[in-house]
A and B are shown apart, each in its own frame.
Chain A
Amino acid sequence: MFRAIVETQWKWTRGIVLVATIAAFSIPMAAIAIARAAVDGPGGGTFSVDTFRFVTQISSTGVFYSMTAAGLGLAVAMAAWAHDHRGKHIYALALPVARWRYALMRLGAGGLFLIPPVVGLLAGGSLVAVSGAVPAGLHAYPVAIALRFALAALVAYSVFFAVSASTPRTAGIILGTMAGVVMVQFVLETTGSHTDVIQPLVDGLFGQGGVLSVFTGRWMLIDA
Chain B
Amino acid sequence: MRSALSFRAAAAGLLAAISTARPPAAPAQSVADYERQLDTLAAQLRVAELGRQALRDSVSRELSRLDSIDVGSARILAPHSLAPTVRWAMTRARDSIRNAFGDFDDILAGTHAGRPALVVRRDSSPERRDGGEGEYAVTRVRSKLPHIYLVGQVNQQGVEELRRSGEDSIALAQDIQALLLRTVMATGSPVIHHWMGIWAPTATVRGSFEWAARRLDLVGTPAAVARDCYAGDTARCLAGFGLVAVPDPVMTLYDAPTRRQAVMRLRSSAARFGNSAGVNACLRRSDDAQCVAVLRDMVLPGDPVFGYELRVSLVEEALAMGGPRAFERFFRTPGSIGQRLEAAAGRPLGEVVARWQHHVVSAQRATEDINPAIVGAALGWTVLFAALALRSTRWR
Contact = CB atoms under 8 A, between A and B. Distances in A.
Interface of A: 45-52, 55, 89, 92-93, 99-100, 103-104, 107, 135-138, 141, 144-145, 147-148, 151-152, 154-155, 157-159, 161-162, 165-167, 208-211, 213-214, 217-224
Contact of B390 (A52, A100, A136, A141): A100
Given A103-B390, A136-B261, A162-B389, A144 B395 contact: no
Given A158-B384, A213-B377, 15 more contacts: A47-B264, A48-B267, A89-B395, A99-B395, A103-B392, A107-B389, A107-B390, A147-B370, A148-B370, A157-B382, A158-B386, A158-B389, A161-B386, A165-B389, A224-B230
Contacts of B215: 224
Interface string B306-349: 00000000000000000000000000000000000000000000
Contacts of B394: 89, 165-167
B390 A155 contact: no
Contacts of A55: 216
Contacts of A144: 366-367, 369-370
B22 interface: no
A167 B392 contact: yes
B210 to A, nearest CB: 11
Contacts of A49: 220
B213 A152 contact: no
A52 B210 CA distance: 11
A220 B377 contact: no
Contacts of B379: 151, 154
A141 B367 contact: yes
B384 to A, nearest CB: 8
Interface in B350-368: 364-367
A78 to B, nearest CB: 13
B366 A220 contact: yes
Nearest to B392: A165
Given A158-B389, A162-B386, A209 B219 contact: no
A103 B393 CA distance: 11
Contacts of B267: 48
